[in-house]
């Protein structure tokens, strides 16, 4: 049973940091290959495991120095059966990857137990398919059944919560939220948007959030936006009530579209200081925001600038 599963501390306010673009940082900046972009594949290898540990230790140290809480992600984004064939893995191995990833994160939390603010262990759940260009639409019932498998594995661990990260459609989000609700584990939904501020399916961000809430009884703990630059969605954030359901941001460093990023052979790490200021501007408009990290192209520099900007 997770330490904070019955009461997520970030819901009470206060600054919480998230990490950055783990995969892009490790691949491009640290020169370590990640098979099929699945970070959990680093864990069985001592060298890969230490690369992951060092990455998260730097983030946890940043949280400590800023007096911030930390949402500590387990590298389980692609640890579900959709990717089993690509990873040449069977169901038992995928299940073990989830259990090992949570144990890894729980160990880091214990290592940083002197941090004054809470460290929340959060398992990532990726969409069933390409997070940039969804190739098929997934019905709500199908999504619930599919994601219930990974969530059931995670529910038996020390994880505090799960986050449906880089989700591209409301129907799949509804399904994963229902699965988490049935397993009695808190869930956050983080949608990604294109350069026009809409989901890859063409759904408006506000419509997607309102649909998920309406069809799940407001079961989502809160929402986030990730894998998009602030310029891509700041224009759709107004005074509507649904915007108050967004509590966290994990933005890309790059202004490139998902298609352009997918084709890019070099890392576009943008301007860390500028990104931090854009977070601060969004926080001025949405003062209830309190969970901040990065996504593609970001690293410790970006999260440091973000932390500095939102605490001024």
Please report which confidence band the pLDDT of residue 1 belongs to, taking 50, 70 and 90 as the band edges: confident
In a domain, 63, yes or no: yes
Q: What local confidence, expressed as pLDDT, does residue 161 receive?
A: 98
In the three-class reduction of DSSP (H, G, I as helix; E, B as strand; rest coil), residue 158 is classed as coil
165: nearest Cα among 103, 248, 96: 248
Sign of the dihedral defined by the CA atoms of residues 209, 158, 126, 142, in that order: negative
Which token pair is 227? 């894998």
Q: How many domains does the chain have?
A: 1
Give the pLDDT confidence of 81-132 residue by residue, as tens digits: 999 999 999 999 999 999 999 999 999 999 999 999 999 999 999 999 877 6
In a domain, 193, yes or no: yes
Give the whole-angstrom CA distance, residue 164 versus residue 150: 11
Residue 265, pLDDT above cutoff 80? no
Range of the domain at 288: 9-310
Q: What local confidence, expressed as pLDDT, does residue 137 receive?
A: 83
Q: List the beta bridge partners of residue 204.
A: 198
Query: What mean pLDDT comes out for the span 243-248?
Result: 98
In the three-class reduction of DSSP (H, G, I as helix; E, B as strand; rest coil), residue 146 is classed as helix
Lowest mean pLDDT segment, chosen from 244-248, 249-253, 263-267, 271-275: 263-267
In a domain, 2, yes or no: no
In a domain, 127, yes or no: yes
Q: What local confidence, expressed as pLDDT, does residue 24 receive?
A: 95
Give the whole-angstrom CA distance, residue 228 versus residue 199: 10
In a domain, 51, yes or no: yes
Q: List the beta bridge partners of residue 249.
A: 225, 292
Q: Kindly report the pTM of this predicted structure.
A: 0.97
In the three-class reduction of DSSP (H, G, I as helix; E, B as strand; rest coil), residue 51 is classed as helix
Q: What local confidence, expressed as pLDDT, does residue 162 receive?
A: 98
In a domain, 3, yes or no: no
Q: What values do phi and psi take at 124, rounded to 5? A: -85, 140
Please report, for the domain that includes residue 25, its CATH number: 3.20.20.330
In a domain, 246, yes or no: yes
Please report which confidence band the pLDDT of residue 268 belongs to, taking 50, 70 and 90 as the band edges: confident
In a domain, 282, yes or no: yes
Query: What mean pLDDT comes out for the span 160-178?
Result: 98
């Amino acid at each position: 049973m997770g330490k904070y599963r019955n009461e997520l501390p970030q819901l009470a306010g206060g600054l919480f940091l998230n990490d950055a673009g783990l995969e892009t940082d490790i691949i491009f900046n640290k020169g370590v290959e990640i098979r099929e972009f699945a970070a959990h594949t680093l864990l069985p290898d001592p060298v890969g495991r230490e690369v992951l540990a060092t990455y998260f230790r730097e983030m946890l140290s940043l949280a400590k120095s800023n007096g911030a809480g930390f949402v500590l992600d387990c590298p389980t984004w692609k640890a579900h059966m959709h990717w089993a064939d690509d990873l040449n893995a069977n169901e038992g191995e995928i299940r073990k990857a989830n259990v090992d990833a949570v144990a890894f994160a729980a160990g880091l939390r214990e290592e940083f137990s002197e941090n004054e603010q809470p460290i929340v262990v959060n398992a990532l759940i990726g969409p069933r398919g390409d997070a940039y260009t969804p190739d098929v639409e997934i019905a709500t019932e199908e999504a619930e059944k599919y994601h219930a498998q990974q969530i059931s594995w995670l529910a038996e661990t020390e994880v505090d919560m799960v986050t449906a990260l880089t989700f591209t459609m409301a129907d799949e989000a509804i399904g994963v939220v229902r699965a988490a609700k049935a397993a009695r584990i808190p869930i956050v939904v983080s949608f990604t948007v294109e350069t026009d501020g809409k989901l890859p399916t063409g759904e408006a961000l506000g419509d997607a959030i309102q649909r998920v809430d309406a069809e799940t009884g407001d079961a989502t703990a809160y929402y986030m936006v990730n894998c998009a630059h602030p310029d891509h969605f700041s224009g759709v954030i107004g005074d509507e009530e649904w915007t108050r359901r967004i509590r966290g941001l994990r933005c890309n460093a790059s202004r490139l579209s998902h298609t352009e990023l997918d084709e890019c052979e070099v890392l576009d790490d943008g301007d860390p200081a500028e990104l931090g200021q854009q977070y601060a501007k969004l926080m001025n408009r949405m003062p209830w925001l309190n969970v901040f990290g990065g996504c593609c192209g970001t690293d410790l520099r970006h999260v440091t600038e973000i932390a500095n900007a939102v605490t001024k």
